[in-house]
Structure 1
Amino acid sequence: MDSLVTSAVAVGGTLAGASLTYLFGWLTARRAEAVARREQLRRDRIAAYTSFAGAITDLRQAVITLWFTHQGDADPASAQTEADRRGATADHARFTVRLLTEDPAVLHLVDETFAPITAIAEAPDLAALKEHEARSQTALDTFIQAAGRHVR
C-alpha cells in the first residue's frame, strides 16, 4: 500500500511539474509575442512618420517651384505634374500614418501640415510665400515632436 501511495505522489508531482512548465512556457511565449508586436509597431511607426515628413518636405519644395514657375514665363505643366505627383505621395504617407496611429492629436497634426502648403500655392507675393513656408516647417516640426513620443 505504501508503494501505491508513493507511486501516486510521484505521478501527481510529475503531472504538476509538467503542467507548471507548460503554463510558464505559454506565459513566456505570450509575453515575448506581445513585446515583438509592440516593437514591430514601433518600427512601422518610425518608418511611416519619417516617410510622411519626407513627403511633406518634397511636396512643399514642389509647390514652391510651381509658384516660381507661375511667376515667370515658363510653362507650368511639368511643375504642376511634379507637384501633383508629390502631393499623391504625401497623401499616401498620410494614409499610412493614419493606419498606424490612434492618437487624435497626432492625426490632427498630420492634416494640419497640408494647410500651409496649400497657402503657398495661393501666395500673392514672395513675402507671403516665405511666411507660409515657415508655417509649414513649424507644423512639420510640431508633428515630428508629437509623433516622436510614440516611438521613444
Structure 2
Amino acid sequence: METAVIAVIGTLLGSVITHFFQRQTADRTAALARSEQLRQERISAYSSFAGALVDYRRGQNDRWYRAQESAGSTAAEEARIDSYRLRSGAHQALIRVELVCDDPQALALAASAFEVTNCMHEAPDEADRSRRSEQARETLSEFIGAAAPGVR
C-alpha cells in the first residue's frame, strides 16, 4: 500500500514539475516571438520612413527649383502640390516610427529629419537650399545610425 501511495505522489509531483517547465518554455517562446515581431515592425517602419523622407527631400528640392524657375507657373504649382502629398506620406511614416521606437534619441532624430526636410523649400538662395538638403540627408543618416542597433 505504501508503495502505491509513493508511486501516486511521485507521479503527481512529476506532472506538476513537467507542467511548470513546459509553462516556462511556452512563456519564453511567446516572448521571443513578440520580440521578433516587434523587430520586424521596426525594420519595416524605419525603412518606410527613410524611403518616404528621401522622396520628400527630392520633392522639396523640385519644389524649390520650380519656384525659382518660374514662380506661380503650372510646373511650380504642381511641384508644390506634389510636395504636400510627399509630406503627408513622410508624416504618416514618422507616426509609425513613433509607435514602434522606444529610443528617445532615435525619435528625436526622426522628428528632426522630418522638420529639416519640411523647411527646405523656404531657402532664399541656392547655397542655402543645398545646405538644407545636405542637412536633411545627414539627419536622416543619423536617425538610421541611432535606430539600427534596435533591429540587429
Q: Taking structure 1 as the reference length, what is the TM-score of the superposition?
A: 0.94
Q: 1:124 is paired with a residue of what secondary structure? A: coil
Report 1:30-41 matches (<5 A): 30-41=27-38
Q: Which residues of 2 match residues 1-152 of structure 1 at below 5 A?
A: 4-73=1-70, 74-75=73-74, 76-152=76-152
Cα distance, 1:77 vs structure 2: 2.0
Using the alignment, how far apart are the partners of 1:17 and 1:118 within structure 2?
A: 64
Distance (whole Å) between structure 2 residues aligned to residue 82 and residue 27 of structure 1: 53
Deviations 1:108-148 (A, max 9, x none): 11111023223321111111111111111110000000000
Quick one: distance in 1 between partners of 2:132 and 2:46? Answer: 22
What's the TM-score once normalised by structure 2's chain length?
0.94
Cα deviation, 1:58-90, whole Å, max 9, x if unaligned, reads 000001111111011232221111111110001
Q: Aligned partners of 1:10 and 1:116: how far apart in 2?
A: 74
Where 1:113 maps in the other structure, the secondary structure is helix
Name the amino acid aligned to 1:135.
Q
Partner AA of 2:121 in structure 1: A
Which runs of 5 or more residues in structure 1 are unaligned?
Answer: none
Q: Quote the sequence identity (%).
A: 37
CA distance in 2, matches of 1:101, 1:119: 24
Deviates more, 1:100-109 or 1:7-16: 100-109
CA distance in 1, matches of 2:17, 2:117: 60
Aligned residues: 149
User: Is the contact between residue 87 and residue 118 of structure 2 (CA under 8 Å) also seen in structure 1?
Assistant: no
CA RMSD of aligned residues (A): 1.0
